[in-house]
A = this chain, B = another copy of it.
Amino acid sequence: MTATQAFIAACADVLGAAHVLTDAHDTEPYLVDWRKRYRGRACAVLLPADTAQVAAVMRLAHEHRIAIVPQGGNTGLAGGATPDSSGAQAVIGLKRLNRIRGVDPHNNTITVEAGVVLSEIQARAESAHRLFPLSLAAEGSCTIGGNLSTNAGGTGVLRYGNTRELCLGLEVVTPQGEIWDGLRGLRKDNTGYDLRDLFIGAEGTLGIITAAVMKLHPAPVAKVTALAGLASPHAALDFLSMAQHHAGALLTGFELMSDFSMRIVGKHFPQLRYPFAEPHGQTVLLELSDSESDAHARALFERLMEAALDEGIVENAVVAENLAQSRAFWDLREHIPLAQAEEGLNIKHDIAVPISSIGRFIDETDAIIAKAVPGARMVTFGHLGDGNLHYNVQAPEGVDAKRFLDEFQTPINALVYDQVHAHRGSISAEHGLGQLKVDEAMHYKSPVEVRLMRAIKAALDPHNLMNPGKVVRADAPAAKENIA
Contacts and interface: CB of A to CB of B under 8 A. Distances in A.
A458 B458 CA distance: 11
Interface stretch (A39-47, A118-126, A191-199, A266-274): A191-199
A185 B437 contact: no
Given A107-B354, A153-B188, A352-B187, A194 B162 contact: no
- How many copies of the chain does the oligomer comprise? 2
19 contacts: A104-B354, A106-B237, A106-B240, A106-B355, A107-B357, A157-B187, A164-B194, A174-B452, A180-B449, A185-B354, A186-B352, A186-B387, A188-B383, A190-B430, A190-B431, A198-B456, A248-B249, A456-B456, A462-B484
Contacts of A311: none
Given A181-B446, A218-B248, A452-B174, A190 B241 contact: no
A357 to B, nearest CB: 8
Contact of A448 (B107, B164, B180, B184): B180
B453 A356 contact: no
> Residue among A159, A183, A425 with the most chain B CB within 10 A?
A425
A355 B471 CA distance: 36
Contacts of A206: 193
Interface residues of A, number: 105
B249 A191 contact: no
A102 to B, nearest CB: 11
Given A185-B424, A197-B198, A354-B186, A192 B388 contact: no
Contacts of A177: 483
Contact of A446 (B180, B194, B352, B426): B180
Interface in A356-404: 356-357, 383, 385-388
Interface in A413-455: 424-433, 437, 441, 445-446, 448-449, 451-453, 455
A412 to B, nearest CB: 19
A53 interface: no
B192 A472 contact: yes
A424 B213 CA distance: 12
Contact of A356 (B104, B194, B484): B104
Contact of A245 (B291, B383, B424): B291
B249 A159 contact: yes
Contacts of A355: 106-108, 187
A200 B189 CA distance: 12
Interface string A248-279: 11100000000000000000000000000000
A188 B151 CA distance: 9
Contacts of A247: 291
A98 interface: no
Contacts of A191: 426-428, 433, 437, 441, 445
A220 interface: yes
Nearest to A175: B484
> Residue among A220, A246, A354 with the most chain B CB within 10 A?
A354
Contacts of A432: 190
A32 interface: no
Nearest to A234: B106
